[in-house]
């Protein structure tokens, strides 16, 4: 089963400097929240996300490092064009396709499941909210003021939301129509298909204007699960050899030798990466970035750490704090510690006070004491987003 996330629009009603999809609600963008509802849903195998061109060309890491297959397509001028572009990228084996508006970051797993179940049974289904208020139909009166023409039977009125789910052939029929439409259900209706209504959720709001953002923040706060902490440790050691640069936490430190390794051999980043992955139960650096894969040869390990952070974010975790101890007989690290912390903080997505790096010697004892290698111990604490 495939989910299409329609995020192709530019949100002209929203205003503001950045695209609506990238506005942050309680620390996560609207797009990330919407995508995550499907990435974490057990019925969804893969996703297709339609983005505006500028975003599709530089997608955020939570899309490129997603834990399920996720394709990115460039959206069209109208919503239905974006969905049609995404539909073209849906794998052949998907018999049901769920369409969701990226501007609705709070669709629950239960709502997604009920919409899918109804579509599996009847061909097409959408989430829609029953109306509580009395509904008036109006016409333009004198001076163009609206006046009531009729009071409608509210029992029969529903406000359309997404998700909307379709058997593949029905969505194909719907998207073949060129009439302008604000959702896929209306196209399916026009194509002659029956669309079933499943009970929507009041919290499944669509963020359209700036005012919606404060309501969304309130919903985000109330829907947040209790924050649990998860700790992970990391350890790494690299040999010091002649003819290599010495890179520690992204800082190139002047020294007569450097660390040997496949990537830039940044032993601090490696230990911290293992701590972050370990806290999430997500394996280790060797599994995600194997030194048998040429794409990681000479790689910036700060970059790899950033990728590891994206991997754990996709599991709903963010970094709380990190502490690392660097065991190096030489050189003196004190002048570089703050730059190292700043580099780590940037890729970990935390403020510098959440990152500690401490230098130690090995008192001349053993291999580390003789300066044959540098070793790092690290611990990371992750918490739920
Ligand atoms: Mg290493």
The torsion angle over the Cα atoms of residues 28, 33, 34 and 35, rounded to 10 degrees, is: 100
In the structure, what pLDDT confidence band is assigned to residue 15 with cuts at 50, 70 and 90? low
Supply the pLDDT for residue 12.
61
Please, which contacts does 284-290 make with residues 24 or more away whose CB atoms are closer than 8 Å? Answer: 289/263
Rank 107-111, 206-210, 323-327 by mean pLDDT and report only the highest. 323-327
Distance from Cα 276 to the centre of ligand 1, integer Å: 14
Distance from Cα 377 to the centre of ligand 1, integer Å: 12
Quote the radius of gyration of the chain (alpha carbons, Å). Answer: 26
Q: Please check the confidence at residue 239 and state whether its pLDDT lies above 60.
A: yes
Distance from Cα 158 to the centre of ligand 1, integer Å: 57
DSSP 4: E
Half-sphere exposure of 350 (CA within 13 A, CB side): 23
Q: Please check the confidence at residue 163 and state whether its pLDDT lies above 70.
A: yes
Distance from Cα 251 to the centre of ligand 1, integer Å: 16
Q: Please check the confidence at residue 334 and state whether its pLDDT lies above 70.
A: yes
Supply the pLDDT for residue 39.
92
Distance from Cα 237 to the centre of ligand 1, integer Å: 6
Q: Please check the confidence at residue 14 and state whether its pLDDT lies above 80.
A: no
- Give the whole-angstrom CA distance, residue 293 versus residue 283: 17
Distance from Cα 60 to the centre of ligand 1, integer Å: 26
Supply the pLDDT for residue 245.
95
Distance from Cα 245 to the centre of ligand 1, integer Å: 15
Exposed (0-12), middle (13-18) or buried (19+): which is 148, by Cβ within 10 Å? exposed
Distance from Cα 230 to the centre of ligand 1, integer Å: 23
Supply the pLDDT for residue 226.
55
Distance from Cα 264 to the centre of ligand 1, integer Å: 9
Distance from Cα 7 to the centre of ligand 1, integer Å: 39
Supply the pLDDT for residue 303.
94
Distance from Cα 320 to the centre of ligand 1, integer Å: 23
Compute the average pLDDT of residues 363-379: 97
pTM: 0.64
Distance from Cα 222 to the centre of ligand 1, integer Å: 41
Structural domains of the chain, ranges and CATH numbers in brackets: 2-222 (3.90.550.10), 229-384 (3.30.1330.50)
Distance from Cα 3 to the centre of ligand 1, integer Å: 38
Nearest CA among 199, 177, 197, 180 for reference residue 188 = 177
Distance from Cα 190 to the centre of ligand 1, integer Å: 59
Distance from Cα 266 to the centre of ligand 1, integer Å: 7
Q: Please check the confidence at residue 307 and state whether its pLDDT lies above 80.
A: yes
Say how many C-beta atoms besides its own lie within 10 A of residue 18's C-beta: 11
Supply the pLDDT for residue 213.
87
Torsion 221-280-40-22 (CA) sign: positive
Distance from Cα 70 to the centre of ligand 1, integer Å: 29
Distance from Cα 384 to the centre of ligand 1, integer Å: 27
Distance from Cα 155 to the centre of ligand 1, integer Å: 64
Distance from Cα 268 to the centre of ligand 1, integer Å: 8
Distance from Cα 360 to the centre of ligand 1, integer Å: 19
Supply the pLDDT for residue 360.
96
In the structure, what pLDDT confidence band is assigned to residue 219 with cuts at 50, 70 and 90? confident
Distance from Cα 126 to the centre of ligand 1, integer Å: 50
Distance from Cα 345 to the centre of ligand 1, integer Å: 19
């Amino acid at each position: 089963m495939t989910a299409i996330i329609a995020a192709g629009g530019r949100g002209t009603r929203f205003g503001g400097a950045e695209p609506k999809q990238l506005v942050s609600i309680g620390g996560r963008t609207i797009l990330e929240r919407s995508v995550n509802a499907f990435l974490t849903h057990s019925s969804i195998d893969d996703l297709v996300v339609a983005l505006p061109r500028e975003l599709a060309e530089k997608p955020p890491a939570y899309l490129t490092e997603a834990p399920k297959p996720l394709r990115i397509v460039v959206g069209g001028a109208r919503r239905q064009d974006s969905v049609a572009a995404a539909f073209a990228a849906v794998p052949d084996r998907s018999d049901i396709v769920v369409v969701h508006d990226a501007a609705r970051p709070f669709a629950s797993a239960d709502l997604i499941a009920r919409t899918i179940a109804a579509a599996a049974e009847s061909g097409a289904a959408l989430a829609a909210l029953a109306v509580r208020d009395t509904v008036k139909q109006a016409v333009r009166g004198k001076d163009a003021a609206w006046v009531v023409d009729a009071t409608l039977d509210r029992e029969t009125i529903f406000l359309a939301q997404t998700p909307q789910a379709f058997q593949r052939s029905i969505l194909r029929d719907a998207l073949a129509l060129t009439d302008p439409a604000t959702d896929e259900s209306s196209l399916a209706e026009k194509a002659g298909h029956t669309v079933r209504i499943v009970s929507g959720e009041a919290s499944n709001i669509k963020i359209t204007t700036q005012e919606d953002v404060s309501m969304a923040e309130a919903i985000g706060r109330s829907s947040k699960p209790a924050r649990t902490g998860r700790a992970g440790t990391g350890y790494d050691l690299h040999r010091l050899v002649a003819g290599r640069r010495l890179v520690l936490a992204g800082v190139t430190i002047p020294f007569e030798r450097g660390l040997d390794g496949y990537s830039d051999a940044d032993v601090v980043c490696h230990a911290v990466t293992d701590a972050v992955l370990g806290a999430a139960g997500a394996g280790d650096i060797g599994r995600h970035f194997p030194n048998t894969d040429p794409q990681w040869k000479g790689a910036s390990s700060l970059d790899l750490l950033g990728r590891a952070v994206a991997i754990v974010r996709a599991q709903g975790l963010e970094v709380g704090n990190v502490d690392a101890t660097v065991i190096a007989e030489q050189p003196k690290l004190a002048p570089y510690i703050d730059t190292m912390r700043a580099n780590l903080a940037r890729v970990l997505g935390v403020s510098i006070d959440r990152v500690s790096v401490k230098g130690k010697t090995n008192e001349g004892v053993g291999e580390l004491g003789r300066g044959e290698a540098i070793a790092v111990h690290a611990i990371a604490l992750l918490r739920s987003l």
